Amino acid sequence: MAIRHLAAEGFLLSIRDISRQFATKTAVDNVSLEIEPGGFIGVIGRSGAGKSTLLRMINRLVDPTSGRIVFNGVDITGLRGRDLRRWRQSAAMIFQQFNLSGRLDVLTNVLMGRLNHVPAPRAVLKLWSDEDKAIALSALEQFDIAGLAAQRAESLSGGQQQRVAIARALVQEPQIVLADEPVASLDPRNTKVVMDALLRINKHYGITVICNLHSLDLARTYCDRLIGIASGRVVFDGAPDALTDDVARDLYGLEAEDVLGKAAAMPHPQAAMANALSMPA
Ligand SMILES: Nc1ncnc2c1ncn2[C@@H]1O[C@H](COP(=O)(O)OP(=O)(O)OP(=O)(O)O)[C@@H](O)[C@H]1O
């Protein structure tokens, strides 16, 4: 599959003084961030901190009240119409609830990610070429679920459905993947399988991943940069090792002991990486 090569240097994404107000509530408050290409970035913080709103503004599912978002030199806050639709394909979203069409089979769900890559008449009629089907099957193979291609999506487990959603994101040929609490509804085993799939997207394909996570353990295990958000503001930005328990206590407030207490249960980051990279190529 042809995945576009990323710029070797410079910032991929530049978020400049971005804010979002909902009535009297400031969900994101004057956030500025520079994101380099190729990273696996975790956005962490307690419930209601503003993580989802921040991610959704990057994809333009939510419009900022003020500020700018620039991707590869293009101001995406000003995009409209076809340009906006193209941007949304380039910035693939992964959602907590998978967002698959439950009654359609798995392969068709993945093919939906190709809509922007086929001529309009074929896209309207959903006439998929053999090449598109091969691309979709190959993406399913990446995550060890090609055998489920003919099944209805709603018959799959949560972990399997999320891997289908990740395969769909991959066939979009995205320049960045935005995952909004992708494992929040999964059990620990499926959590690991799905996080490994995202790690593979990042390490094998070199696609930048920004992932909202409530769990500090997961963020420390999988991410190479953490951005801590509290009350809509960035209160930490650095390597996982630099996030001390004291900083985490500030970040999570009353939830801190819950969040910190689980750290011992997670696999070592290198083990997670080795697992992800040993998935079928
Ligand atoms: N559409 C909306 N209308 C009104 N308020 C909203 C809306 N979306 C988010 N908010 C509010 O903005 C704040 C930040 O919400 P957001 O969902 O971004 O936080 P979060 O860190 O992702 O939390 P969670 O993990 O619980 O989703 C919260 O107080 C939330 O209630």
Full strand arrangement of the beta sheet holding 25-35: 25-35, 13-22, 66-71, 74-75
All domains of the chain in start order, with CATH: 13-264 (3.40.50.300)
pLDDT string in tens for the chain (281-residue length):
443 433 434 789 999 999 999 999 999 999 999 999 999 999 999 889 999 999 999 999 999 999 999 999 999 999 999 899 999 999 999 999 999 999 999 999 999 998 877 766 666 666 788 899 999 999 999 999 999 999 999 999 999 999 999 999 999 999 999 999 999 989 999 999 999 999 999 999 999 999 999 889 899 999 999 999 999 999 999 999 999 888 888 888 777 777 765 543 344 454 455 555 555 43
Q: How far is the CA of 207 from the centre of ligand 1 (A)?
A: 27
* Both tokens assigned to 228: 């801590």
Q: How far is the CA of 52 from the centre of ligand 1 (A)?
A: 7
Output the pTM of the full model. Answer: 0.88
Closest C-alpha to ligand 1, atom 29 = 48
- The ipTM value here is 0.96
Q: How far is the CA of 259 from the centre of ligand 1 (A)?
A: 20
* Ligand 1 close to Cβ of residue 57 (< 6 A): no
Residue pair 20/28 in contact (Cβ under 8 Å)? The answer is: yes
* Ligand 1 close to Cβ of residue 22 (< 6 A): yes
C-alpha dihedral, 118 to 119 to 120 to 122, nearest 10°: -80
* Ligand 1 close to Cβ of residue 45 (< 6 A): yes
Q: How far is the CA of 47 from the centre of ligand 1 (A)?
A: 8
* Ligand 1 close to Cβ of residue 97 (< 6 A): no
